[in-house]
Structure 1
Amino acid sequence: MGFADIFNQVLPGQNTDLKQLKLTNQHLVDLANQNNVIAPENFKRFDIKHGLRNNNGTGVLVGITGISDVHGYQLIDGEKSPDEGRLYYRGIDLYDIVSKNASSGTRLFEETIFLLLFGQLPNPQELEDFNNMIDAYRQLPQGFTENMILKIPSQDIMNKLQRSILVLYSHDEHPDELAVENLILQCIKLIARVPTIVSYGYQAKRHYFDRKSLFIHAPKEGVGTAENILHMIRSDNQYTETEASTLDLALVLHADHGGGNNSAFAVHVVSSSGTDTYSAISTAVGSLKGPKHGGANNRVRDMMLDLNQNVTDIGNADEIRAYLEKVINKEAYDGSGLIYGLGHAVYTKSDPRAVILKEKARQLATEKGKLKLFSLYENVELIGIELLRKKKGPGLTICANVDLYSGLVYQLLDIPEELYTPLFAVARMAGWCAHRIEQVMSDTKIIRPAYVCPHQRQKYTPLSDRK
């Protein structure tokens, strides 16, 4: 069914036949195109920071956050100078968090949540109590699974997650209370429940849309978020230690990314209005759903599937190069000219999350006998960067971003594609909640930037005088 057919549908019991109206859908489309597109030259004319970016590519400073810091370049005399990427959680280098726990066998995600929320690493007793607190709230409110998830399934789990978070408002006795003790409780409950909502949302989608058997597994205590997800999304509850530790690592790497990324900034903006936690966090989910943000990992996956269909031998570098040249020239895949998984708004020489995940992907691929698949992704990285430098100049500094290898890791873990972005949301709940608490506690002024209107003033014309 095309747009015109949808627009002209008549609902049951509706007396007006839309097909007889002189106000056609094409006329409305023409008006929208005529009056809603801002001419590009106006951004230069009024010195607008398009996308809140400065002319040198840096982000416009709009706030302060102590949650995390993203370092991707140095500013020398106002110009960006490429540098190795670093990500700091509450001042602690992500590389240190990961490397110093690599052989401990302990789960890192819950420790990372505590660090982001409360500003310091937990001691053993604090971590044990915190884990027990999260376990106590993993179950959804009574009737929630049946009424919210199973009776209203969605083909898109992010859509289901966003609606579910808003409905949790109705299960809170003090949903609008902004006292810090209430904010902390709300955030801990959301962090605990979102993995369950995502897992059950996936099962509902699988059953009602894919016609598969329905499995609803109760969350387990004492195993952490990563293991609970694998336990709840798999029909047989089975997973290996390697799978659990890998997913735990992926959650840690995605837990936060500064205050300037689109979804975290959305949390700050909405929270500054004084609204409730559920409205603020659901806004972040809507942001992350977008293909320019969290949904980018699905674009990588789709591009790689298209590559597989158009390349005879995925081990042949020349064939990969020919395909990527077509992508850059807008002759292949989605016609955007973008090689998804390459480039980042902040990182230049390296994305630390991609560096860590790449090595984990190499280990997994070796264990599972899929090194040829890993080599394909590595070749896309190396050849893609080479081609982009050839097209845009040798001075271009570009690196693989986290989306390139996160999708590969999920694929090697046999995680369904429709869960890629929802798992990103599970991880980012930690950062969103930390930013929510920080905004409410630190800044009582509503965020209200200015927009300029370039249109000339005109007088109101009475209806009888309009043609």
Structure 2
Amino acid sequence: MSTGTESTAAAGLRGVVAAQSKIGDVDGEKGVLIYQGYDIHDLAEHSTFEEVVYLLWNGRLPTQSELDAHTEQLRSNYGIPAQVIELMKQFPKDADPMDVLRTAVSTLDFFDKDGHKTDRESSTRTATRITGQIGTIAAAWDRIRNGKDVVKPDSSLSIAENFLYMLRGERPDAEEARMFDIALILHADHELNASTFTTRVVAGTLAGVYGAITAGIAALAGPLHGGANTAVMKTLLEIGDLSAVDAFVDNALANKQKIMGIGHAVYRTEDPRATWLRKFSKTMAERKGESKWFEMSQRIEQLMYEKKGMYPNVDFYSASTYYLMDIPLDLYTPIFAVSRISGWTGHVLEQYENNKLIRPRAEYIGERGLKYKPISER
């Protein structure tokens, strides 16, 4: 919208408050992330992903009986319709896992009678279904594209355990399962990021939960959002060795190339999630006896702080952590979605509670007063 005065538009909507929410908050100056009032470090230390899902949806931690019921409901929804599996088997085997996830999640709408309802009870049931099912889709696709039988989900396992079990066909050990569970907690919500904002915009039209989540997945797929962790590992593989890190960083800075996983749109100090993932990267390096990727990451972190005053974000150390868990590179972003589904659905539920159509204006910067000319005169 042109006013004839100096532009007030904020590039990328930086700093613009577009919604009020109780779900999560980020203090970029202090490096603090909270979910419903709880510091991320406190939750990572003591909670589970299932409990965090309850917290994000309900605004409080559950009692034991509430957590038991909530967990049982999530686990009872691990299975996906056979028709969806059969559809996935028709996809090109080289299809991007995020494209598969987006399309498969969208089809789940056909099998959910509550899928278009926006009242609290119905939309919570749908949120429970989709939160239970999204990991199954991601793991099943990796099996399908590699010509393997899909592993049936195990409802005795947590979401973190079940994903790794379905991916590999064997249960993870307790330490690895706990690290992965904490990784899901760390990625669960991050205030009004690009994909979360997308889900709220779609939910604001009173579209169903599946439509909102499908849009969120599409937004997350971009390399400037959820795709960054895959790009980090590709960079490490490209560099190849600790001895080549310094030259790579110098060359990247000289050519003004972005080093993925370093810096953040909000944080001006260390991303609190990176604190945990750095530790997990080191632990996995020790478990596998393969320290190269962690050491390379540490050196990049050191150089970028010394030269640019920049810190690693959540994607930087999650890359080497997942790599040493033998997770394929292109599944890193689907794993992000397996976690962020909790925040997305929490924001959708919150949007439905006090809905107002989200309809901002654009500042018009084009020409005015042009007159139509017949095509023969152009």
AA paired with 1:225? Answer: I
Aligned-pair distance for 1:466? 4.2
Aligned to 1:126: 66
Aligned-pair distance for 1:356? 1.1
CA contact (8 A) 1:343 1:401 kept: yes
Aligned to 1:68: 24
Larger relative CO (CA 8 A, sep 6+): 1 or 2? 2
Secondary structure of 1:143 counterpart: helix
Secondary structure of 1:435 counterpart: helix
**Structure 2 counterpart of 1:224, from 134, 144, 158:** 158
Alpha-carbon distance change, 297 to 462 in structure 1, aligned in 2, over 3 angstroms? same
**Structure 2 counterpart of 1:460, from 362, 372, 377:** 372
Could you tell me which runs of 5 or more consecutive residues in structure 2 were left unpaired when the two chains were aligned: none
Aligned-pair distance for 1:119? 1.1
Secondary structure of 1:343 counterpart: coil
| Bigger shift: residues 148-157 or 278-287 | 148-157
Could you tell me which runs of 5 or more consecutive residues in structure 1 were left unpaired when the two chains were aligned: 1-41, 54-58, 74-82, 102-107, 208-213, 331-335, 390-397
Q: TM-score, normalised by structure 2?
A: 0.94
Partners in 2 of 1:428 and 1:341 — Cα distance?
18
Aligned to 1:254: 187
Aligned-pair distance for 1:45? 4.7
* Count of paired positions: 374
Partners in 2 of 1:356 and 1:181 — Cα distance?
35
CA contact (8 A) 2:115 2:123 kept: no
Partners in 1 of 2:222 and 2:106 — Cα distance?
19
**Structure 2 counterpart of 1:355, from 259, 275, 279:** 275
Aligned to 2:12: 51
CA contact (8 A) 1:153 1:204 kept: no
Q: TM-score, normalised by structure 1?
A: 0.77
Task: State yes or no: 1:402 paired with 2:341.
Answer: no
**Structure 1 counterpart of 2:346, from 403, 422, 434:** 434
Aligned to 2:36: 90
**Structure 1 counterpart of 2:245, from 316, 320, 326:** 320
CA contact (8 A) 1:132 1:222 kept: no
Aligned-pair distance for 1:248? 0.8
Partners in 2 of 1:174 and 1:228 — Cα distance?
25
Task: State yes or no: 1:286 paired with 2:218.
Answer: yes
AA paired with 1:442? Answer: N
Q: Superposition pairs for residues 142-161 of structure 1, below 5 Å?
A: 142-146=82-86, 148-153=87-92, 155-161=95-101
Task: State yes or no: 1:302 paired with 2:234.
Answer: yes
Q: State the Cα deviation string for residues 148-193 of structure 1 (Å, max 9, x = none).
A: 2112245211101111121112112233221111100110000001
Aligned to 2:330: 418
Fraction of identical pairs, as percent = 33
The higher radius of gyration belongs to 1
CA contact (8 A) 2:165 2:172 kept: yes
CA contact (8 A) 1:153 1:160 kept: no
Aligned-pair distance for 1:291? 0.3
AA paired with 1:91? Answer: G
